[in-house]
Amino acid sequence: MERFFQILAAVLVGIAAFFLIWRSDAETAFIAAVPGAVSFFLSLRFQVKARLRKREEEKRRRGDEENSGPDLLPDDLVSDDQIDNEQRTTNNEQKANL
């Protein structure tokens, strides 16, 4: 569908250029250029819509893969290094407040 609108936009812009340059008829050129511009933006809309649909499918697949992975035990969720870093931050904040 997006290819159709791209081709239509190119054809209509070509017609507009013909009327503007060789015929010096600005009104007819404008009438041809407006649907050409609309066709161009419709083709962009279809491209963006397809990209968004593809990203949503990838997110769903990743979410399914993450949910099907091995379950973590509560001890595995927080590492000792993370706790140490948080404790240091808290101690530094307390010293700064004094």
Cβ-Cβ contacts under 8 Å for 47 (sequence gap 6 or more): 2
**In terms of C-beta density within 10 A (0-12 exposed, 13-18 middle, 19 or more buried), how is residue 23 classed?**
exposed
Give the residue from 76, 77, 75, 8 showing the smallest Cα distance to 40. 8
Q: What is the pLDDT of residue 39?
A: 93
Please tell me the pTM assigned to this model: 0.56
Phi first, then psi, for residue 73 (nearest 5°) are -80, 155
Mean of pLDDT over the chain: 80
Amino acid symbol at 95: K
Give domain limits for the chain: 1-66
Q: Report the range out of 33-37, 67-71, 91-95 with the highest average pLDDT.
A: 33-37
Residues 20-49 pLDDT 10s: 888 888 998 999 999 999 999 999 999 999
Give the residue from 86, 90, 6 showing the smallest Cα distance to 46. 6
pLDDT over threshold 90, residue 56: yes
Q: What is the pLDDT of residue 92?
A: 62
- In the structure, what pLDDT confidence band is assigned to residue 57 with cuts at 50, 70 and 90? very high
